[in-house]
């Protein structure tokens, strides 16, 4: 039996177990930095296999190794994220979230279950390959500063630095079992912006005695849109959005300040720095034109995700070897962000997407209360993660 058939057989052997694990995780989702029970479940599964690991990394992160023959020869890493989102689930699934107001609405339960299944498969095959596979269960992908950079600072690559790292993400708009990947820039950098417009509050009937931060803030919001429309090179994808506008006045009360919360995302580091300068300049000068003051704080987030071209070509070739014809697609650049980018700065990386669309069901996007995934996608993800790991070790 060749490697592909062997792995496919093991996928079927463990599929029901992995589905059960996914449903357990889905039923008990935990927010960023709170993944205690999730981590406990992962460690229990690893203990059953006798796999060596380290836990409680940056809170509840877990990493470890499956050693094949001659483990010092080469190492490849696989990563899954762990945290859920503060969303009230509305799917009515029989394994719906029991943690009120918290939901695995981004598919991280699928990612973790797939990696556990892959570990089971590779552990069965450990006498048939050389090198070692590193597995990383990463907490807090959804919240700054993110678990990736924090696990790296904790030294998870100190013992062994892998020669490559791979990960995937559920994609509900793609057909189940299809994959999409792209060489080079894939996902955007992200920064959070907090702006306070300070004026002088007072009675709404006497605006001439006040400095109205509402009016100033409205003009700031409008002016900031020119970062994309008039300052960005049209060939460099950039997006700026204001997500919160808080002015605690009333119908007849002008507040003393307004708070804005925003994001900016792009794919070029020099332009990213220039965006920060423009945000300060536009906000401060526009507010000043109305007699107000703008205090700007920019919290730098994740860099953009970059797929190593050589590794990505290898992943594409391997995927085409094990998946039906037409199942491997070209991915487009997305303005979503991922702290997997920190791993990609350390070693050659490939981040790809796996379709989880449920046939005949409406598509519910990621980060929505109705998101669900076709669990048959776990067959594809386990097959790919196992096969890719072993092909990379060759």
Phi, psi for 251 (deg, rounded to 5): -55, -35
Place of tokens 């703008």: 294
Closest among 133, 265, 129 to 191, alpha carbons compared? 265
Closest among 147, 165, 137, 188 to 345, alpha carbons compared? 165
* DSSP letter, residue 187: E
**How are beta strands 202-203 and 164-175 bridged, if at all?**
unpaired
Closest among 293, 311, 227, 236 to 263, alpha carbons compared? 227
Q: How far is CA 352 from the centre of its chain?
A: 12
Residues facing 28 on adjacent strands: none
Q: Which among 37, 192, 329, 375 is annotated as catalytic?
A: 375
Place of tokens 């526009």: 286
Verify whether residue 302 is a known catalytic residue. Answer: yes
Q: Which among 302, 306, 342, 387 is annotated as catalytic?
A: 302
* Angle, vertex CA 382, rays to CA 379 and CA 383, nearest 5: 80
Verify whether residue 306 is a known catalytic residue. Answer: no
Closest among 110, 109, 274 to 189, alpha carbons compared? 274
Closest among 117, 100, 98, 129 to 25, alpha carbons compared? 98
Using an 8 Å Cβ cutoff, are 115 and 77 in contact? no
Q: What is the SS3 assignment for 41?
A: helix
H or E element that contains 170: strand 164-175
| Catalytic positions | 302, 375
């Amino acid at each position: 039996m060749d490697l592909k058939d062997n792995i496919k057989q093991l996928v079927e052997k463990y599929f029901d177990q992995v589905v059960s694990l996914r449903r357990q995780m889905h039923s008990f989702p935990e927010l960023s930095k709170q993944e205690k029970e999730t981590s406990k479940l992962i460690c229990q599964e690893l203990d059953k296999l006798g796999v060596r690991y380290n836990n409680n990394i940056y809170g509840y992160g877990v990493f470890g190794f499956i050693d094949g023959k001659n483990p010092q020869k080469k190492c490849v890493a696989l990563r899954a994220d762990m945290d859920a989102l503060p969303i009230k689930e509305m799917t009515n699934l029989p394994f719906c979230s029991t943690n009120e107001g918290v939901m695995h609405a981004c598919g991280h339960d699928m990612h973790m279950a797939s990696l556990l299944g892959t570990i089971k498969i590779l552990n069965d095959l450990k006498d048939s390959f050389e090198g070692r596979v590193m597995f990383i269960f990463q907490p807090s992908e959804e919240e700054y500063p993110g678990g990736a950079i924090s696990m790296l600072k904790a030294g998870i690559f100190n013992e062994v630095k892998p020669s490559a790292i791979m990960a995937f993400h559920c994609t509900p708009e793609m057909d189940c079992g299809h994959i999409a990947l792209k060489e080079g820039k894939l996902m955007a950098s992200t920064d959070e912006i907090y702006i306070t417009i300070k004026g002088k509050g007072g009675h709404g009937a006497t605006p001439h005695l006040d400095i109205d931060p509402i009016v100033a803030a409205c003009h700031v919001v409008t002016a900031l849109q020119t970062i994309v429309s008039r300052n960005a090179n049209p060939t460099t994808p950039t997006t700026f959005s204001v997500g919160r506008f808080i002015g605690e006045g009333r119908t007849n009360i002008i507040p003393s300040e307004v708070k804005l919360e925003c994001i900016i995302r792009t794919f070029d580091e020099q332009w990213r720095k220039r965006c920060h300068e423009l945000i300060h300049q536009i906000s401060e000068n526009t507010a000043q034109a109305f007699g107000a003051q703008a205090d700007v704080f920019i919290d730098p987030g994740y860099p953009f995700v970059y797929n190593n071209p050589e590794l990505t070509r290898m992943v594409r070739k391997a995927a085409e070897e094990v998946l039906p014809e037409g199942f491997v697609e070209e991915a487009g650049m997305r303005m979503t962000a991922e702290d997997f980018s920190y791993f990609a700065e350390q070693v050659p990386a490939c981040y790809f997407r796996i379709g989880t669309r449920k046939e005949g069901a409406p598509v519910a996007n990621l980060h929505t209360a109705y998101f669900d995934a076709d669990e048959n996608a776990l067959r594809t993800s386990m097959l790919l993660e196992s096969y890719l790991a072993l092909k990379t070790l060759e």
